[in-house]
Amino acid sequence: MTNDEFVAIGIDTNDAWIRDRTGIRERHVAGPDETLTSLAATASRIAMTDAGVAASEIDAIVMATVSPDHLLPAAAVEVQAALGATRAAAFDVGAACTGWIYGVVVAEGLVATGTAETVLVIGGELLTRIVNWKDRNTCVLFGDGVGATIVKRSQKGRGVLSSYIRSDGTLAKLLWRPSGGGANPVSEATLADGSFWVQMQGREVFKHAVRSMADACDRALDGAKLSADSIDLVIPHQANTRIIEATAKHAGISMNKVYVNVDRYGNTSAASIPIALDEARRAGRITDGSTVMFVGFGAGFTWGSLVVRF
Ligand code: ACO
């Protein structure tokens, strides 16, 4: 869906505003017959084929999402059933846009403790189903998508070199869904006031995002005992090109070492980093031995980073 298509459906916006403020040109919207589970199963099968892993070998499925098909049970068990991963534990991680980074940290722990050998980590969202399509402050920013990855034990010197995850729940109301949960259940009043849709204070989120992305970059490099020069590629959460550029500047990494695709997908929250990872691998920007820094922030607030050697 292009920016112009919002104008066509009566939203008071324009292509120039959206591109100038966010860098987004278009985003993808799931079709009426598609669900988070169907997209996640498709992405997972591609990742499993790529990694040479059968459904029967998966010990755990960690699904990062804030837009599940159902509020109960976990989105991960729906994917477990779709894949026929009969041996797998399955659960969700709700860390919004930092969800895939949190998921990889959990997977690393499962492998390190010997609880699992093979973990499927998925980041996926159907955000177009939880935004108010009449609210120009949010609807133009988000898109649908899923990325899937397989985490296994690696040789020494490869894999996750450092990880960092943080949160600040005092900022929760900057980006949240005020109703629909236990504190304010679905009722005629919440349906009427639309408080179950995503609500965001964009300018405040922007400020905290720039700050937390900078912190996450510093901690990732410190943790891995690497300088910015040693990073071959940065894959940041894709929310906004201005936030990405500020992050690269802070880290002292030139933009030609930063993967950007927000122009084509919008903000797909937990899916944005694994989608970018897949594209970067296929484009040959990650090869054997590449050192990649992942950095993200999201609702919560949550933020975090990983340095991974492939
Ligand atoms: N089209 C045209 N005008 C708009 C639109 C739109 N789609 N949306 C807002 N405006 C208007 C506002 O109403 C405001 O008008 P006013 O001055 O008459 O009140 C004006 O544009 C400026 O609004 P600001 O909010 O000040 O614009 P800003 O430069 O901050 O850009 C934006 C807004 C793009 C939302 C920016 O603040 C941003 O990117 N914030 C971060 C958002 C983000 O990354 N969210 C995801 C977090 S991660 C996660 O967990 C999902």
Residue in the block written with tokens 């690393």: 108
CA–CA gap between residue 181 and residue 6 (Å, rounded)? 29
pTM of the model: 0.97
Q: Which two tokens stand for residue 224?
A: 């891995």
- pLDDT band of 256, cuts 50, 70, 90: very high
Q: CB neighbours of 200 closer than 8 A, spacing ≥ 6?
A: 137, 138, 174, 175
- pLDDT tens profile 197-228: 999 999 999 999 999 999 999 999 999 999 99
CA of 158 to the centre of ligand 1 (A): 40
156 CB less than 6 Å from ligand 1?
no
| Nearest-atom index, ligand 1, CA of 200 | 45
Using the predicted structure, report yes or no on whether residue 147 has a pLDDT greater than 90.
Answer: yes
> What are the Cα distances from residue 4, in Å, to 12, 24, 85, 140, 258?
11, 12, 42, 10, 27
**Top mutation candidate among 11, 66, 101, 203 for ligand 1, by most atoms within 8 Å of CB:** 203
Domain architecture of the chain: domains with CATH: 4-152 (3.40.47.10), 160-309 (3.40.47.10)
97 CB less than 6 Å from ligand 1?
yes
Q: In percent, how much of the chain has pLDDT > 70?
A: 100
CA of 203 to the centre of ligand 1 (A): 6
Using the predicted structure, report yes or no on whether residue 62 has a pLDDT greater than 90.
Answer: yes
